[in-house]
Chain A
Amino acid sequence: DGGITQSPKYLFRKEGQNVTLSCEQNLNHDAMYWYRQDPGQGLRLIYYSQIVNDFQKGDIAEGYSVSREKKESFPLTVTSAQKNPTAFYLCASSISPGQWEKLFFGSGTQLSVL
Chain B
Amino acid sequence: QKEVEQNSGPLSVPEGAIASLNCTYSDRGSQSFFWYRQYSGKSPELIMSIYSNGDKEDGRFTAQLNKASQYVSLLIRDSQPSDSATYLCAVNPNQLTFGTGTRLQVTL
User: A43, A45, A58, A110: which contacts B44 (Cβ < 8 A)?
Assistant: A43
Across the interface, do B34 and A40 meet the contact criterion of CB distance under 8 Å?
no
Number of A-B pairs, beta carbon distance below 8 Å:
48
Question: Closest approach, in angstroms, between the C-beta of B11 and any C-beta of chain A?
Answer: 14
Alpha-carbon distance A41/B46, docked complex (angstroms): 17
Across the interface, do A45 and B43 meet the contact criterion of CB distance under 8 Å?
no
Across the interface, do B43 and A107 meet the contact criterion of CB distance under 8 Å?
yes
Across the interface, do A100 and B42 meet the contact criterion of CB distance under 8 Å?
no
CB-CB contacts of B18-56 with A at 8 A, as 1s and 0s? 000000000000001010000001111110010000000
Across the interface, do A58 and B95 meet the contact criterion of CB distance under 8 Å?
yes
Alpha-carbon distance A96/B53, docked complex (angstroms): 26
Knowing A40-B8, A42-B88, A43-B88, the reply to whether A108 touches B42 (Cβ < 8 A) is yes
Question: Closest approach, in angstroms, between the C-beta of A92 and any C-beta of chain B?
Answer: 8
A76: chain B residues at CB < 8 Å are none
At the interface, is chain A mostly helix, strand, loop or mixed? mixed
Residue of B nearest to A42 (CB): B98
Q: B65 contacts the other chain (Cβ, under 8 Å)?
A: no
Alpha-carbon distance A109/B98, docked complex (angstroms): 19
Across the interface, do A100 and B96 meet the contact criterion of CB distance under 8 Å?
yes
Residue of A nearest to B95 (CB): A45
User: B43, B45, B98, B101: which contacts A40 (Cβ < 8 A)?
Assistant: B101
Binding site for B on A (CB under 8 A): 35, 40-45, 48, 58, 88, 90, 98, 100-101, 103, 105-108, 110
**4 tightest CB-CB pairs across the interface, nearest first?**
A42-B98, A105-B43, A43-B98, A42-B100
What would 7 more interface pairs be, CB under 8 Å, given A43-B44, A100-B90, A101-B46?
A: A41-B101, A42-B99, A42-B100, A43-B90, A48-B95, A101-B32, A105-B44
